[in-house]
Amino acid sequence: MKGKIVKLISNDYTVLSDRLYVCKCRGKFRNDNISPLVGDNVIFDEINNYILEVEPRKNELIRPLICNVDQAYIITNVKPSFNSNLLDKLLCIIEFNNIKPIIIFTKLDLLNKSELLEANKYIDYYKSIGYKVFINTELEDIKKTFKNKISVFTGQSGAGKSTLLNRIDTNLNIKTDEISVALGRGKHTTRHVELLKICDGFVADTPGFSSLDFDGMKNSDIRDNFIEFNKYKNLCEFSDCMHINENKCGIKGNDKILKTRHENYVNFISKNKENRW
């Protein structure tokens, strides 16, 4: 039978097919250095409860240890302050991993009139360059985006990730002592990754991305995953322009590109461990 791994505890793999099966792996997996992950689509023996084959993956994350993720919800609070650097970093990393980002802004109700106008400028910009953007009060619209997808949630500690998930589906009852994604530590008590049913899809019961480095990314990868840069790169004199110090660059100083986006991009390039094209 075909199924999907929705939970892994020790060496027990819970596979969802017509029902839930708790399976083991064949010994040949160890010999072939294959480690099935939550999110894997597998072929299994439903009589003897053994996983026989793991189908090819479209992506794989290390923290959380999960694969075949379709989309990542970036929960972004605007109060006490909006962190554009973290949002742009997550967008870049998520794009690079072939995952669709969805931005959800929270705590707009705490803003005064001028702060709200400023926040709306950012919301409108991210929408204009092609991202799906919601406010956390748009629950019915958010619910529709889960259908037939495997999703993860990420964002700054205190942004309201678990609170939002519990509002979307009260049956989840996810604890709200959230991990600090920025620091890589916190109070989240989940010791394993599990896919939970939500709105005709799945959401990973994990604290989200705990690695915020550009692991495996070259400087050109960072550049290419700032999606609006690709729209104007034909304005650059050189096809391999890095949009930093080059003359006749169509990105640097372009008033159609949000200033903080280019500033964050330059900051990421300067700090990238790979530091190469």
Domain membership of residue 189 as a residue range: 61-204
Is 210 inside a domain boundary? no
Predicted local confidence at residue 17, as pLDDT:
97
**pLDDT at residue 53, rounded to an integer:** 94
46 vs 29 pLDDT, higher one: 46
My answer on whether 85 and 166 are in the same domain is yes
Please measure the distance between the N-terminal and C-terminal CA atoms of the chain and give it in whole angstroms.
45
- Distances in Å between the alpha carbon of 144 and those of 41, 95, 229? 23, 21, 30
Confidence of residue 211 (pLDDT cuts 50, 70, 90): low
Interval 179-183 mean pLDDT: 38
Give the mean pLDDT of the chain: 88
CATH number, residue 257 = 1.10.40.50
Query: Where does 106-183 have alpha helices with state H?
Result: 113-128, 139-144, 161-168
Q: Is 196 inside a domain boundary?
A: yes
Q: Are residues 95 and 108 in the same domain?
A: yes
In the chain, what percentage of residues exceed pLDDT 70? 88
pLDDT tens digits, one per residue of 137-156: 999 999 999 999 999 988 87
Q: What's the whole-number mean pLDDT along residues 48-73?
A: 92
Q: Is the pLDDT of residue 182 over 70?
A: no
The confidence score (pLDDT) of residue 62 equals 79
Q: What percent of the chain has pLDDT over 90?
A: 70
* pTM score of the predicted model: 0.87
Alpha helices (runs of H) in the chain, residue ranges in sequence order: 28-31, 84-96, 113-128, 139-144, 161-168, 219-224, 229-232, 259-271
Domain count for the chain:
3
Given a cut of 70, is residue 181 above it in pLDDT?
Answer: no
Q: Are residues 185 and 264 in the same domain?
A: no
Which CATH number is 73's domain given? 3.40.50.300
Nearest Cα neighbor of 14 from 42, 35, 47, 53 is: 42
Residues 246 and 267 occupy one common structural domain: yes
Residue 179 has pLDDT above 50, yes or no: no
Is residue 110, in this structure, part of any structural domain at all? yes
- Residue 199 is predicted with a pLDDT of 95
198 and 236 share one domain: no
